[in-house]
Structure 1
Amino acid sequence: MFLCRGDINRTSCSNCIHAATLSVAETCNSHKGASIFYDECIVQYSNVSFFTLVEDAPAIRRYSPSSYLGSSDFFNQTLPGKIYELILRAFSSSLSSPIPYFAEDREHVTQLEGSYDLEALVQCSPDLDPRNCTECLRLAVEDFFECCSHARLAQIIFPKCLVMYNVSALQPSLGVING
């Protein structure tokens, strides 16, 4: 099975799958199953059927070591609100979208301390049913907020789903000077 991120083109997807497949063949050829996670794709194989299942596998965590120095409102309200909005959109896109179980958004956010651009995406493997997709993303979000608190960018990747966000550098608000 392979899964490419919904925001990349076919050529990039094909190149990623090719590289991941070669890597799996070189490093895991004696194993009965393996998953390899690249930035743009996931390749997985097993001698046991894993389709339609949310697997109990450890997450791959990638996040920036530098902290985002904005307000706590961002991590307490803005970011969770955006992620949960995308999960609902991914769930509802399962039947109508050319890329099922995928949702992304880019938004310019202005708060008291300044403004920033927020990019976020969520995605599930299309072999999952809506309930299992939601469950996988829920597990990813739990892991996300436990491991990557206050990171400027983060990715949580499970074999069947992923959650990502990236926050641009904070641009201070310009104050109004009365003169």
Structure 2
Amino acid sequence: MPHVESGMTVGLFGGSFNPPHGGHGLVAEIALRRLALDQLWWMVTPGNPLKSRRDLAPLAERIALSEKIARNPRIKVTAFERTLGQSYTARTLEKIRERNRDIHFVWIMGADNLKDFHRWQNWQTIARTFPIAVIDRPGATLAYLSSKMAKTFDYARIDEDDAATLALRKAPAWTFIHGPRSTLSSTALRARSE
């Protein structure tokens, strides 16, 4: 895990990044700015239980490509999940919390993931572990109203004008952040290269 100092605010931006693209970079930059983060951990996962491993580029390649996009020195590209021996987000977040008790974390996800968030293993545990920032993505803006997660945790939603306080709040707490959106998608990029 990247080095942190006591009391820091850190965003956790996980995904397969297969391949990473400018849209991921935009989400990371918006999160850094709007959430007032000291760091953002760009967590390249070894695999995604909801996606086929057949189409997954090698981890080293996805890390190298992510490093080319994540140019901000406050963004730390990492693949520490590989050493944990599993790829379920709930367990990863539990390990992060165990090893960093005095750090304020926020889970960051694109709105395109919000609609299927309830399919993730222990999704309600994830929502109760760290606050969540959902960053707008094309075609997914209404997910913050209609998704099962949004409905289940409606009481814990904070206004995006208060996003800079999210890391200091007790989970469950979440916000939806509107802003510039990129039409780039890993799925479309993979389809073009085939």
Q: Same fold (TM over 0.5)?
A: no
Q: Which has the higher contact order (CA 8 A, sep 6+)?
A: 2
Please report the TM-score for the alignment, with normalisation by the length of structure 2: 0.29
Q: For the pair shown, which has the larger CA radius of gyration, 1 or 2?
A: 1
Whose helix fraction is larger, Structure 1's or Structure 2's?
Answer: 2
Whose strand fraction is larger, Structure 1's or Structure 2's?
Answer: 1
